[in-house]
Amino acid sequence: MVPDEEVIIHLVITKDEFKGEQQKENFEKMKESTSSVGVNFTWEFDGTGTIHARQSC
């Protein structure tokens, strides 16, 4: 990584049926901690029910 270059990560994930709130808290903590090192981490729960694969850009 080049200094001052921002890395962008966007995660789309299925909400855990039993631990959805814990997931949310953990992802928010990750978002806060990664921002200090130049990583723009965002995430969202997928509501379509069609997620089955992973993609990296």
Does the model's pTM come out above 0.95?
Answer: no
DSSP per-residue string spanning 1-57:
--TTPPEEEEEEEPPPTTTHHHHHHHHHHHHHHHHTTTEEEEEEE--SS--------
* pLDDT tens for the 57 residues of the chain, in order: 566 788 999 999 989 889 999 999 999 999 999 999 999 999 999 888 776 655 555
Supply 15's token pair: 């909400």
